[in-house]
A = this chain, B = another copy of it.
């Protein structure tokens, strides 16, 4: 999940009748909830047909999308939007082809719905199955990236969920054009009318947060502050991430030549991403040999260093204070601390980290195993960049986000995070009283 603190700035405030709109969102959500069972039981062939139709329609009607996107880009220019945000807003032939290829990949993936996760005979003629099924109604609030709208709706369609979608306001026109094409495509092949709904006004987010009777899960993407705001203002379960304070620990038994490029990649390959590192922990024994080499590499990339006093004795840098270790810089700043042992490194990470992704650089596999077991994070890496924490790089196809929660889904979340399960029990007049009184006994036999 990209860090895009600037994304939720309102560029254009749509005119809406608040009162009327509040009724609308709640009504839509209530209707969707009732229709979610139909959506959940659509056969995989229909869901894949819908995805194919979405892809074909997007390609066939691309000019209308590009025209709408130009309108958004004009507004963005007038508002002097930053180059980085502008790049995300722009939706061109290249990005269209990428999402089209993504849909093809998604179609090929196995159906996440209806998998038998457990089959157990409890007694003669009394058989229990645990089967995967869609979560139901999912609300996704995401950053101003037109490709995100396509990826997220595709994931929801594939997993049999109904979805209420709210994209960043900067892509209002593009999103409307894209959503209309997607909606027409999926309903034309027979998916329920309540399968997807797009919310356009920012004000509607607060109404959506009140729909805890109808919405089963909220997935907010965007800045920390935004995700925290959502978590603090709704009774709906939220899957999101808080901070992304990631670490690399350089062990004493390391290969210094191997480390420098990894640390540089983890810091600068995309500093605004949540899986970029903020703090480097270095074993005291290798500090003198390693830090000057790192400093030279960082200087070349304009990375600023804040180090503890003992770091300052080895390389030229600013002084780091306690607060630095709890800060997600999201820019070309890094804090460096020396430690006396792997245990000190692990304790530091578990205390200051955000349980996102943390790595160790070591050639000793026992040391690595200890680090990977004891560091309490969604991703724990040996000898590679933390930037690999991403659904695509894990081979999940697209991702709906990265979860730093420990419940339900952890780390990059693809289709599996969008399903739950239900227990189906088949009997023949079986009653519990027979088992309570000892007339019958369970025999629990797992079926192949």
Contact = CB atoms under 8 A, between A and B. Distances in A.
Given A410-B422, A423-B380, A431 B262 contact: yes
B34 A432 contact: no
A128 interface: yes
A408 B410 contact: no
A3 to B, nearest CB: 16
Contact of A407 (B37, B378, B381, B407): B407
A388 interface: yes
A136 interface: yes
Interface stretch (A55-63, A198-206, A231-239): A231-239
A101 interface: no
Given A37-B374, A128-B394, A375-B37, A422 B262 contact: no
A395 B128 CA distance: 10
Contacts of A128: 394-395
A346 B37 contact: yes
Q: How many copies does the complex hold?
A: 2
A86 interface: no
Contacts of A380: 422-425
A217 interface: yes
Contact of A350 (B37, B232, B374): B37
A122 B394 contact: yes
Q: How extensive is the interface on chain A, given as a class?
A: 35 or more
Interface of A: 33-34, 36-38, 40-41, 120, 122, 126, 128, 135-136, 216-217, 231-232, 235, 237, 239, 255, 258-259, 261-262, 264-266, 269, 346-347, 350-351, 368, 372-385, 387-389, 393-395, 405-408, 410-411, 420-433, 435-436, 442, 444
A430 B383 contact: yes
A376 B136 contact: yes
